[in-house]
Amino acid sequence: MFIDEAKIYVKAGDGGRGCVAFLREKYRPRGGPAGGNGGKGGDVIIRVNPKMRTLLDFYYRHHFRAENGRPGQGKNKHGRNGKDLIIEVPPGTMVYDAETGELICDLIDGEFVVARGGRGGRGNAAFATSTNQTPDYAEPGEPGEERMLRLELRLIADVGLVGLPNAGKSTLISRLTKARPKIADYPFTTKEPLLGIAELGRDKRLVIADIPGLIEGAHKGRGMGIKFLKHIARTKVLVFVIDINEKPDKAFQDLLSELGHFEQSLPRKPRIIALNKIDIASEEALERNWEEVFPGERVFLISALVGLGLDELLRAMFELVEEVDKNASEGDER
């Protein structure tokens, strides 16, 4: 089951209460104050686990509480701090405040404290003064933070495949990578995002994401693909997989339109057009000057089914991703 959204409740630990105690000595029935401080409550920390792929764990569990701090004790002994609670999530998880909609953190790696534990209360030893040498009071611990969170997963991939239903995306990712999607000749075979890794030589790898096909009006809720478009928002390069036999110029414009309705930056991503199913294309389609149809675009004619043109397409994908990475690093240096 692919789960990419979840809502959870988190509660950091409360601080332990301070202690009221006094030294007990043979000749001092009520000696000086000796109450220790309470321990700090545990934090709630969200941490990236690179091995996780979905938010499935949160389908079954919704409440998370860190440990409370322990109370202070006599003889100036401080209470133990509560243990932090670690919640693991996949890379690419965005954490929102469920009530305000505020983005709290966007986790590619590392961790983030989403709820801080309460401070421990001070024991009576902390309140001794020159005018009050035997205070008989202490502080309670402060409550830990609590909040409702909304988790949203956006997969991280180098290349995102987009196309209409039955364009052949699933066949393509199965040929380029070791991913094994369900493939059949009817719309919406792919019902959830799929990641695969393509290799070129020994040291070059690409992570490719396939999402369910888009249809016209997807941004209005039609079909399935719009739900998963967020998973290509982080990709560096888009590959438009288009059936060469089904009005490819219109298909391309429809796809661009749907992407733009979802997020304005998507149609501006570096892209490649892969005209698929040339194994069953007419001579007219094969001889057509596609660079005139798609001026300024990188166009490749392929057959994912029989493997035609895939080596050239894969090399172009690697080269374009490398170009994007280079431009990004140069931009960082500036």
- Per the CB < 8 A criterion, the answer to whether 45 and 113 are in contact is yes
- For residue 159, what pLDDT is reported? 94
Query: In a 3-state reduction of DSSP, which class is residue 176?
Result: helix
What residues are paired with 93 via a beta bridge?
Answer: 107, 153
Q: Around Cβ 309, how many Cβ atoms within 10 Å?
A: 17
Q: What is the DSSP letter of 246?
A: S
- For residue 7, what pLDDT is reported? 97
- For residue 225, what pLDDT is reported? 52
Q: Around Cβ 2, how many Cβ atoms within 10 Å?
A: 15
Tokens of 256: 């661009």
- For residue 183, what pLDDT is reported? 44
Query: In a 3-state reduction of DSSP, which class is residue 34?
Result: coil
- For residue 217, what pLDDT is reported? 56
- For residue 215, what pLDDT is reported? 62
- For residue 178, what pLDDT is reported? 76
- The owner of tokens 């091995």 is 51
- For residue 262, what pLDDT is reported? 85
- For residue 189, what pLDDT is reported? 43
**Which string of DSSP letters, residue by residue, matches 78-134?**
PPPPPPPEEEEE-TTEEEEETTT--EEEEESSSEEEEEPPPPPPPPGGGG--SS-SS
Tokens of 123: 């024991």
What domains lie within the chain, and their CATH numbers? 1-153 (2.70.210.12), 159-333 (3.40.50.300)
| Spatial CA neighbour of 190 closest among 164, 208, 216 | 164
- Burial category of 187 from C-beta neighbours within 10 Å (exposed 0-12, middle 13-18, buried 19 and up): middle
Walk along the chain (334 residues) and give the pLDDT tens digit of each residue: 667 899 999 999 999 999 999 988 766 656 789 999 999 999 999 999 998 888 989 989 999 999 999 999 999 999 999 999 999 999 999 999 999 999 999 999 999 999 999 999 999 999 999 888 889 999 999 999 999 999 999 888 899 999 988 888 989 999 998 765 444 444 444 457 788 889 887 778 899 988 777 766 555 555 555 567 778 888 999 999 999 999 999 999 999 998 998 889 999 999 999 999 999 999 999 999 999 999 999 999 999 999 999 999 999 999 999 999 988 877 666 5
